Structure 1
Amino acid sequence: MAHPQELDTLSKSFSGFGVDERSIVTILGKWQPEHRKTFRKCSTTFFREDERLFEKWDADHIALLKREFSRFKNAVVLWTMHPWERDTRLAKEALIKENRSYDVLIEIACTRSSEELLGARKAYHSLFDHSIEEDVASHIHGTNRNLFVALVSAYRYEGSKVNDEVAKSEAKILCNAVKNAKKKNPIEDEEVIRIVSTRSKLHLKAIYKHYKDNCSKTLDEDLEYGSSLKEAIMCLCSPQAYFSKVLNASMKNGADEKTKVALTRVVVTRADHNIKEIEEEYQTQNGVSLSQKIKETIHGNYKDFLLSLIERGERK
């Protein structure tokens, strides 16, 4: 008969975020048929007994385990890709998946440098024989379409010069557009789209600062929660705060699969860039370090790989 502690360890290894491969190998590798039978009998979370008293894996849990086993593999594959190909494949998947995740497009369009975004657009041509702009325009409908096409088409100025008077003027334009949101959605305003999709990130930060002078509240406070416009401005003006929020949501109990996969995506894509700033922001927002949260939440090789990428980013 299997030892109760081994049963408990194995149950934990099969549960949660990622799987504890080491414990699975150590325990299952030595178990005899009677041990495995005991595990099936005792693990009603994983197994269902049919009318013939046959213990079979629960189908939903098989699907869950396949996803959890694949997280490490997916992280490794993404990490070894050229960054342009990585962004291209993430964007394509976001557009064609049944449960589309347009926040991925916002991340790529708004947190990459102009050269990185241009490189991803070139890679999209090579991989899919048409442009990302075409796919965005054909897959995204309604009020979001013009904003998304403009964002993925951008090639922003990245110098240090900011015209403060123009920034003040454009802060007023945004303020008026948000005030009139009941009459016209700001995301449908051509001037709003022009400002958000063409201005440099430093210029947009100046607009963000002046916005409060005109509207009493910050732009974050005034924009509708979860709107594409709000997410885009957050990515452009405060990417570390945006990514910290996404990471925290991905590790919450009960997070759905769409939310969970962001953990791999953010750590892998930001490890060579601003992971240190994201970590600092995460600590400020949540009172615990990102590394510690991953240690508490994630299992196995997947956990170790994510931690190695974060530590690598810290040494830069």
Structure 2
Amino acid sequence: MGDEVQQLTRAFSGLGGLGVDEATMVSALARWRKQPEKRSGFRKGFRGFFFTTSPAGVELDLCQEEHLLRLAAEFARFKDLMVQWAMHPWERDARLAHQALHQHHPAAVLVEVACTRSADELLGARRAYHALFHRSLEEDVAFRAGDKPYCNLLVGLVSAYRYEGPRVNEEAAKAEAKALAAAVKEKQLAAAVESQEVVRILTTRSKPHLVETFKYYKEMHDGRSIEEDLGGVQSKEETLLAEAVLCLAAPAKYFSQVIEAALRDGADHHGKEALTRVAVTRSDHDMDEIRAAYQEQFGAKLEDAVAAKAHGHYRDALLSLVGGGGGGK
């Protein structure tokens, strides 16, 4: 392991103008799948690039800010992928959330982080946010979205610490399915985003409970799902509501749609960035499910679609992540 860590450290170390070693980086992606201890060892051994802090008593290895700026001048999408891959997942999510709030990145990134991470992962991201930016994520969301109709929904989502056990209150799930149905009746979705009952259900209930709630919703509507009823929305607040529901109900389907949009001809800058984000953040979680969802929805293999659109070492790195799962922390 020591030799491999040294090789990757040297690969990153060509930032003084001689260029990074992209081939070694791609090789590490392929070899270090599901070996979080290697990435942790790399961070701890590369003290010119990472530093250690302990927010709330939890030790984290974080990137030095000036090195991120130097990397930006070195290479573009491949740099983003490699740096996100090397980061501790909590720091990565904290920085993604900060970009969404302060650099006009899509608010959907906040929804992704809030709705598709485990309770402990989201708590860790909040701790990293506090350590990096000296304020809470909830505070920033409330301030930045304070005048928006979806503010309470976003604050509730990023503040959540959901129960993750298997128990579901069936009667409550049925009642809440009726409440959601009433809120989205006749496509009054903008009002639904501001509904205290909708916000309470989506921001406090466990994911198994919500799956049951959405199942009962579908039964009440002759097989029409809540995702379908939220489809075709127009306003930003309606879009966020639809994205939150899809992330909670069917994350693999959501991520496959994000990837497909990123691979379209004419995708904008943020859309293309999403391809890196999803590949890195989901490679060790549910990439198998995302590949299956992509095949089902779009009739093509995800690996083939990526290979046809991406190029060079960036393509090779993406294929290492989407083709068979990646490593963790």
1:126 corresponds to which letter in structure 2?
A
Alignment partner, residue 321 of structure 2: 309
| Residue 275 of structure 1 pairs with residue 287 of structure 2 | yes
1:85-124 equivalences under 5 Å are: 85-97=91-103, 99-124=104-129
Contact kept, 8 Å, 2:280 with 2:321, in 1: the verdict is: yes
Task: Report the Cα offset of residue 182 of structure 1.
Answer: 3.8
Task: Report the Cα offset of residue 133 of structure 1.
Answer: 0.3
1:45-56 equivalences under 5 Å are: none
3-state SS of the aligned residue for 2:93? helix
Q: Find the structure with the greater CA-based Rg.
A: 1
- Cα displacement string for residues 208-247 of structure 1 (whole angstroms, at most 9, x for unaligned residues): 1100222343211212535111100100110000000000
Distance in 2 separating the partners of 1:295 and 1:100: 26
Name structure 1 gaps, 5 residues minimum: 1-20, 23-65
Alignment partner, residue 221 of structure 1: 228
Contact kept, 8 Å, 2:291 with 2:301, in 1: the verdict is: yes
Task: Report the Cα offset of residue 315 of structure 1.
Answer: 10
Task: Report the Cα offset of residue 100 of structure 1.
Answer: 3.3
Task: Report the Cα offset of residue 68 of structure 1.
Answer: 11
Aligned pairs, number: 252
| Residue 142 of structure 1 pairs with residue 154 of structure 2 | no
Moved over 6 A (4+): none
Distance in 2 separating the partners of 1:171 and 1:67: 50
Distance in 1 separating the partners of 2:292 and 2:327: 14
Name structure 2 gaps, 5 residues minimum: 1-21, 24-71, 234-238
Alignment partner, residue 157 of structure 1: 163
Contact kept, 8 Å, 2:253 with 2:294, in 1: the verdict is: yes
Distance in 2 separating the partners of 1:160 and 1:86: 29
Distance in 2 separating the partners of 1:126 and 1:188: 31
Task: Report the Cα offset of residue 252 of structure 1.
Answer: 0.3
Task: Report the Cα offset of residue 314 of structure 1.
Answer: 7.6
1:311 corresponds to which letter in structure 2?
G
3-state SS of the aligned residue for 1:225? coil
2:176 corresponds to which letter in structure 1?
E
Q: Normalised by the size of structure 1, how large is the TM-score? A: 0.76
Mean Cα deviation higher: 217-226 or 142-151: 217-226
RMSD: 2.2
Q: 1:312 to 1:218 in 2, by over 3 A?
A: closer
Q: 1:239 to 1:133 in 2, by over 3 A?
A: same
Distance in 1 separating the partners of 2:176 and 2:74: 46
Q: Normalised by the size of structure 2, how large is the TM-score? A: 0.73
Contact kept, 8 Å, 2:284 with 2:327, in 1: the verdict is: no
- Cα displacement string for residues 279-311 of structure 1 (whole angstroms, at most 9, x for unaligned residues): 111111111111111111110000001111223
Alignment partner, residue 232 of structure 1: 244
Task: Report the Cα offset of residue 159 of structure 1.
Answer: 0.4
1:285-300 equivalences under 5 Å are: 285-300=297-312
Contact kept, 8 Å, 1:136 with 1:145, in 2: the verdict is: yes
Distance in 1 separating the partners of 2:257 and 2:73: 23
Counting aligned pairs with the same residue, the percent is 50
| Residue 205 of structure 1 pairs with residue 211 of structure 2 | yes
Alignment partner, residue 253 of structure 2: 241
Q: 1:95 to 1:314 in 2, by over 3 A?
A: closer
